Amino acid sequence: MVAHRRATWDTCAVHQHEWPGEFTYCPHCATPLVEARVAGSPRKKCPQCGFVHFRNPGVGAAVVVWDSDGRLLLVKRGPGATKAGLWSIPAGYVDYGEDVREAAARELLEETGLEADIGPVVWVASNFHDPAKLTVGIWFDGTVIGGTLQAGDDAAEARFFSPDALPPMAFETDLAYLQTLGIEP
């Protein structure tokens, strides 16, 4: 099995992207938003009701699962998914009001059919692969406790791979995590 080691901040990159979904009108009162300086940064603000649009990223939760042979569980991104046809560590969005660990377990079950105990955080990174959906991802260690391996939701396939024979990967952040383990896909 690959030994886990803590990632360092110098392995993460900082990116700047234009946001394609900029608000034009206030979602509360429909007044056109104006540029304003709020909390030291330029933001869209409603001159009528005071609403300020903060462009916050979504949160994603991933589960890193190794089998007893030291192979990594990956899912092949299905049609319509971001980077369809490529592989990734099972992950998905955290719903509003949902605990991040529960979201990680739910996403793993939806994409792979496997139930898992969700362990410690092994990696955190900002995801810039889709400028329309910037996220902060949290990768957890997971231990399978039940279920049957079967692709579901937006995954076309789900299977385990040896670290020295990984398929084409979808996301730079998964690759960066694997590199902290000494795995060079």
Decide: residue 103, CB within 10 A, 0-12 exposed, 13-18 middle, 19+ buried.
Answer: buried
Q: Where are the domains of the chain?
A: 19-55, 57-180
| Domain 57-180 CATH assignment equals 3.10.310.30 | no
CA 161 from chain centre, in angstroms, equals: 20
**Residue 46, SS3?**
coil
pLDDT of res. 16: 45
Within the chain, which residues score under 70 in pLDDT? Answer: 1-21
Residue with tokens 């990984």: 166
Alpha-carbon distances of 178 from 61, 152, 172, rounded to whole Å: 16, 24, 10
pLDDT of res. 153: 80
Question: Which of 2.60.120, 3.30.300, 2.20.70, 2.30.30 would CATH assign to domain 19-55?
Answer: 2.20.70
pLDDT of res. 17: 42
* pTM given for the model: 0.80
pLDDT of res. 21: 63
Q: What is the pLDDT of residues 113-161, one digit of tens each?
A: 999 999 999 999 988 877 777 888 999 999 999 999 999 888 999 999 9
Q: What angle do CA 136, 137, 143 make, to 5 degrees?
A: 160
Residues 6+ apart with CB under 8 A from 66: 1, 2, 72, 73
pLDDT of res. 19: 54
